Amino acid sequence: MRMVMSINQVKSIAMTVADMDRSIEFYTTVLAFTKIADRQVIGVEAVDESCLSADRVPQATKIQLRVVELQLGNETIELTEFLTLKGRPIPSDSRSHDRWFQHIAIVVSDMDRAYQHLQQHRVSQTSPNPQTLPAWNAIAGGIQAMYFRDPDGRDLELIHFPPGKGDPKWQQPTDALFLGIDHTAIVVADTSASRAFYCDLLGMKLQQESENFGVEQELLSGVANAKVRISSLAAPTGLGIELLEYLEPIDGRPMPPDTESNDLWYCETTLVVADTMDTVDRLNTANFPLACAEVTPSDTSALEFDRDFLILDPDGHTIRLVDR
């Protein structure tokens, strides 16, 4: 049965990085983000904020984090570097249909100029070049997109919406090339199970759904014979969430069960809800337990939330539930 709407906003995406200075240089110089916060968290506060498992924390007082918040347009991302207790790199054979895949979709005003800009900076690409989705696809036809990678090997997407597609705000006249973040996309095993989690339990709304396939989808994702069911979900405000279920091929690997917040494939999607305790109770009742105990933000935290919980979706993607 459909639950009462509890989500107010998809606020931001957090990602773990290996070298903060390198990542800041990439996101600000190549992608035009602006740094708006930079803090360090040490010791027990760092353990609480990172929510690492006890077996990963032999000496809690030696953990040190650097957390930087970046903004593009009205959207923000949060980068975390573990200055101590480094995690594992993104697997070198990682593929777009593996279920640890999560990207942010960065909107550009001119795809040709944006592609030239990436090439000038010698950015690693998954897509050989931008792909224009075919006109037969009523939902996505005419949208231009390409996948590329940040210095840690994390996939990102450039996306350009033609008139009549996407949020109308992306059609506003501007001289800027990089405009903001439209959504985050996650690979899922079963769209129905993921929609039950995000829509029925958390209250997001299905905006549209399509099946993408053909040479453009193969080149975009770097996955041969790709056929993808894409479900676009929305909250009242903030980013969208796209569910990507690969109908073909079906050999995408699951999220490693021992994933921790210091691993470089780790992402968090922060959802602002009306009442975290009520939301957590409903998720627990539906057999989605907390990923760890309540997170206690440090005194230096840039977050302005009263309560803070981590929970895993059906595929192991981490969701941070907060309220104000």
Q: Is the pTM of this model over 0.85?
A: yes
pLDDT at 92: 95
- Which of 222, 157, 233 lies closest to 195 in space, CA to CA? 233
| Partners of residue 159 on adjacent β-strands | 107, 145
Residue 289: what pLDDT?
83
Whether residue 204 contacts residue 198, with contact meaning beta carbons closer than 8 Å, is answered with yes
pLDDT at 201: 93
Domain 7-90+255-323 sits in CATH 3.10.180.10: yes
Nearest to 108, CA basis, from 57, 179, 172: 179
Q: Does domain 102-248 have CATH number 3.10.180.10?
A: yes
DSSP, collapsed to helix, strand or coil, labels residue 96 as coil
The token pair at 267 is: 């992402």
Residue ranges of the domains in the chain?
7-90+255-323, 102-248
Same CATH topology for 7-90+255-323 and 102-248: the answer is yes
For the chain (324 residues), the mean pLDDT of every run of 10, in chain order, is 71 98 98 97 76 66 89 98 94 97 98 98 97 95 97 98 95 96 98 96 95 97 98 97 98 96 96 91 89 57 64 96 85
Q: DSSP assignment of 44-85, as one string?
A: HHHHHHHT--GGG-SSGGG-EEEEEEEEETTEEEEEEEESSS
Q: CA 260, CA 86: separation in Å to the nearest integer?
A: 11
pLDDT of residue 295: 55
Say if CB 63 and CB 84 are below 8 A apart: yes
Backbone angles phi, psi at 146, to 5 degrees: -155, 150
